[in-house]
Amino acid sequence: MSINPKTKFKDFYKYILPLYSPQNKIPVKGYGSTIWVQDGRDYIDFSGGIAVNALGHSNPVLLEALKEQSKKVWHVSNSYTNEPSLCLAKKLVKNTFADKVFFCSSGAEANEAALKLSRRYAYNHFGSKKNIIISFKKSFHGRTFFTVNVGGKNNYSHGFGPSPFCIIHAEFNNIQNFRKVINNYTCAVIIEPIQGEGGINVANYSFLKQLRNLCKIYNALLIFDEVQCGMGRIGKLFTYMHFKIKPDIITLAKSIGCGFPLAAMLTTNKVGEAFSIGVHGSTYGGNPLACAVGNIAFDVISNKEVLSGVKRKNKLLKQHIKRINLEFNIFKEVRGLGLLIGIELNKNYINIGRKILKVAFENGLMLLNAGPNVLRLAPSLLISIEEIEEGMSRLYTTIKCIKQNFKYLEYLC
């Protein structure tokens, strides 16, 4: 069903809960890292659906996998298993530290499963009093009631009633602060190796190494939330491989399905034994359509040329960002790894990140923010050099517009 462009978003605000504030044009077609809207204008996509579209839009190999599976089985429930889920689970186990996989549909669901498993494991081995979960300030782990409270952003959890008990938020990359809060009652520590929503903050190697050691000392499970930074995003198949630190659990979503709702929690046999039949579940977990796409996505993303290409494209993007900043002096710092890049605005431009996104969109570029002061780039891992060059040209035009019309931003809604 098409929507008349002239109506803009009257229908959106009439029929959909106002939880989002979308741009004022509707995408209707995409290929690679280019999107077209209803009036035919093209946009370079540096957002990647918030790090979801790892293989771009309308990728032919993903389309073929979905088409073939759609002729077979769409959904059977977890009263049965299916071939695509068994195949994908085997690939994940063979290519990680894990022995077992739990499939679900979103990152929040994967983190919910990881947190529940951690408490169940602690309960079985150490008793009910070992139930404290340590997370980190500025972290984000999902929007369910449990995960949003485990996350370290108060504005996401404020106003939803009493928070679950036994959740502590430590300071990211501050081992001295962490030592003050971990104890014998800690059952799990959950961390994003690269904080996404929190501003693309990369964990220090020494910090993660000491977390790992302290978790062993206190018999706490270490969970790596790789929902955003996993699946090839940083030029390694998984982020724990970059740091060479093995967690007890990792959670995956976003790029694992490349736009088809799919997520996974991976763990060892020892930890996984805490779950038994009926203890946890997911209606759509291991869906044949999703896992058929996930299988092909895994094969492409794990290709050495694709992973090495991520690192090369990181260098190219950073070179362009540096050139833009040499001329306009608007950026304070560039953070991140691979194709998960955060550009922090300097003190003269704080709190205008969302407005910059609107100006960028006017100039044919799709960006993300990670808080009010950080621009976030999370494009397809297959983004072409030509698309990068064109996108950075449009970013240059955007920043030039910001500098020339800074007062105008005060009135931009």
pLDDT of residue 413: 45
pLDDT of residue 409: 59
pLDDT of residue 12: 84
CA torsion 319-323-329-333 (nearest 10°) is: 0
Q: Are 193 and 202 contacting, i.e. CB atoms less than 8 angstroms apart?
A: yes
- In sequence order, the 6+-apart residues with CB closer than 8 A to the CB of 350 are 372, 373
CATH 3.40.640.10 fits 72-301, yes or no: yes
Q: How far apart are CA 314 and CA 26, in angstroms?
A: 29
The gap from C-alpha 373 to its chain's centroid, in whole angstroms, comes to: 19
Helix (H) or strand (E) holding 270: helix 269-272
Per-residue pLDDT tens digits of the chain, which is 413 residues long: 344 555 556 788 888 898 888 888 999 999 999 999 999 999 999 999 999 999 999 999 999 999 999 999 999 988 999 999 999 999 999 999 999 999 999 999 999 999 999 999 999 999 999 999 999 999 999 999 999 999 998 888 888 888 899 999 999 999 999 999 999 999 999 999 999 999 999 999 999 999 999 999 999 999 999 999 999 999 999 999 999 999 999 999 999 999 999 999 999 999 999 999 999 999 999 999 999 999 999 999 999 999 999 999 999 999 999 999 999 999 999 999 999 999 999 998 888 888 899 999 999 999 999 988 999 999 999 999 999 999 999 999 999 999 887 655 555 54
Predicted model pTM? 0.94
- In sequence order, the 6+-apart residues with CB closer than 8 A to the CB of 55 are 61, 62, 258, 297, 300, 301, 380, 381, 382
pLDDT of residue 13: 83
- In sequence order, the 6+-apart residues with CB closer than 8 A to the CB of 37 are 25, 26, 27, 28, 43
Q: What would the two tokens of residue 248 be?
A: 């007890």
Domain chopping of the chain, boundaries: 5-58+304-411, 72-301
Q: Are both 5-58+304-411 and 72-301 of the same fold? A: no
pLDDT of residue 161: 85
Residue with tokens 């950073």: 318
User: How far, CA to CA in Å, does 90 sit from each of 36, 68, 295, 302?
Assistant: 37, 20, 10, 14
Q: How far apart are CA 351 and CA 149, in angstroms?
A: 24
Q: What are phi and psi of 132, to 5 degrees?
A: -80, 135
Instruction: Give the fold, CATH level 3, of 5-58+304-411.
Output: Aspartate Aminotransferase, domain 1 (3.90.1150)
